[in-house]
Amino acid sequence: MSNISKEVLRDYIKEQNFTSANDVLSAMKEMFRDVLQEALESEMDTQLGYDRYEVSEKQTPNSRNGYSRKTVKSELGKVELNIPRDRNGEFEPKIVPKHQRNITGIEDKVMALYAAGMTTRDISEQVKNLYDVEISAEMVSNITNRIMPIVAEWQNRPLEKTYSFVFMDAIHYKVRDDKQIIIKAAYVVLGVNMDGEKEVLGIWVGANESSKFWLSVLNDLRNRGMQDVLVFCVDGLNGFKEAIGAVYPFAKIQRCIIHQLRASMKYIPYKDKKAFVGDLKAVYGAVNEDAAYENLQYAKGKWGKKYPNAIKSWEDNWDNLITFFAFPEYIRKIMYTTNAIESLNSQFRKVTKTKLIFPNDDSLMKMLYLATEKISRKWTRVYLDWDLVVSQLNILFGEVLRKEA
């Protein structure tokens, strides 16, 4: 259309005598049908080696054999076409392949709407409103099911040998399972490779969060080629340390300070929360481990008798809470909290908020995978001062990294 002169277009417009935008759309639809029809005729000419009106140039025993009618769905609505046939039945049109009745690219649009968190019923209505194409909610589900082999391939892809940081967390959903609605966990693992690039290493849907399931996840990661992790950043799940130690015994473990803070705050009434948080901030914000321990003892002396469980949780988890003190400030910011994966999970929640209950595990996995693809395309920057980070990691984990070299 871009090659048609303005004069020709103006003559065409005068000839059509348009009175509304719908008239223009109808004319475009007719023009689209005509161009498509001529493209099919041209394909047949190429197949047979002669123009339909130049029989004298025919050099093949094969010949045209009429037409078969076909209705296809397009972005301009339904279009009636006459598909040329040849006597030998050899003609295979490329522009509108056999058995294809949808030329809108509508499947890609369905995938995009599904990835944005729309329900199958909403997508069906949206497609009808936009393109005047009827697709049922069941058809939407069938279209999105076609990506499951891609999801499986992504979930089993080989991984790099070494990751600098790996964040692990779970997000919970209601899923229908054997006619019951149960809470399931989507186990999410986010890795940072040695170039400072983030990557979702995998998503696993399983029973409610447990260290036993996390162990199977870790074994899966190792079987896919992830031989070493320098630092794991995790929440406060019991048994996490043991599960990691069983698969990656040389890795450092940093328990998320924010998770720890939340866990201890549940013991503190509102009137004391602000003061208590201030004293704990002096612990995890200290310049080094010795100062942090000294500040914890101060907090214990002040609050220990009144709220013993809150203080005890810091003492019980101390070894995994102080890992980040061995690193400079620019690395501490990366590892002392699982913010990186919590940010990812918050975006998952945005796209899944319309789905109160998922009909099965695959339905949940499809939506999380499509959301991951969309989100990860925006991850174009590495962490700040990454050259400095790598220099420190090479010193602190020299033995592990030399083994991988």
Going 240 to 244 to 250 to 256, the CA torsion angle's sign is negative
Answer yes or no: do 186 and 317 share one domain: yes
Q: What is the largest CA-CA distance in the chain?
A: 106
Are 209 and 235 in contact, with CB atoms under 8 Å apart?
no
Answer yes or no: do 251 and 396 share one domain: yes
Answer yes or no: do 279 and 353 share one domain: yes
pLDDT at 340: 85
Mark which of 103, 136, 170 sits at the end of a domain. 103
Print pLDDT tens along the chain (405 aa): 445 556 656 766 777 777 777 777 677 767 677 767 777 787 788 878 877 667 666 778 888 888 888 887 776 677 788 888 888 888 888 767 777 776 666 677 788 888 777 888 888 888 777 666 677 778 778 778 878 889 999 999 999 999 999 999 889 999 998 889 999 999 999 999 999 999 999 999 987 777 888 999 999 999 999 999 999 999 877 778 889 999 999 999 999 998 899 888 988 999 999 999 999 999 999 999 999 999 999 999 999 999 999 999 899 989 989 999 999 999 998 988 888 888 888 889 988 888 888 888 998 999 999 889 888 888 877 888 899 999 999 998 988 787 765
Answer yes or no: do 10 and 77 share one domain: yes
Answer yes or no: do 59 and 172 share one domain: no
Answer yes or no: do 324 and 349 share one domain: yes
pLDDT at 382: 80
Give, as one character, the DSSP assignment of residue 383: P
Answer yes or no: do 269 and 220 share one domain: yes
pLDDT at 198: 93
Q: Which residues contact 350 (CB under 8 A, 6 or more apart)?
A: 117
pLDDT at 139: 75
Answer yes or no: do 24 and 81 share one domain: yes
Residues written for the chain: 405
pLDDT at 1: 43
AA identity, residue 204: W
Q: Is residue 153 part of a domain?
A: no
pLDDT at 230: 96
pLDDT at 205: 93
Q: How many domains does the chain have?
A: 3
pTM over 0.75: no
Q: Is residue 154 part of a domain?
A: no
Q: Is residue 151 part of a domain?
A: no
Q: Is residue 155 part of a domain?
A: no
pLDDT at 2: 44
Answer yes or no: do 45 and 113 share one domain: no
* Domain that includes residue 133, residue range: 105-146
Are 147 and 369 in contact, with CB atoms under 8 Å apart?
yes
Structural tokens at position 178: 């054997």
Answer yes or no: do 169 and 217 share one domain: yes
pLDDT at 211: 83
Answer yes or no: do 60 and 110 share one domain: no
Q: Is residue 227 part of a domain?
A: yes
Task: Please state, in angstroms and rounded to a whole number, the distance separating the CA atoms of residues 205 and 366.
Answer: 11
Are 155 and 221 in contact, with CB atoms under 8 Å apart?
no
Q: Is residue 169 part of a domain?
A: yes
Q: Return the exposure string of 15-26: e unless at least 16 CB atoms fall within 10 Å of the residue's CB, then b.
A: eeeeeeeeeeee
Task: Please state, in angstroms and rounded to a whole number, the distance separating the CA atoms of residues 66 and 58.
Answer: 17
Q: Is residue 43 part of a domain?
A: yes
Answer yes or no: do 132 and 165 share one domain: no
Q: Is residue 192 part of a domain?
A: yes
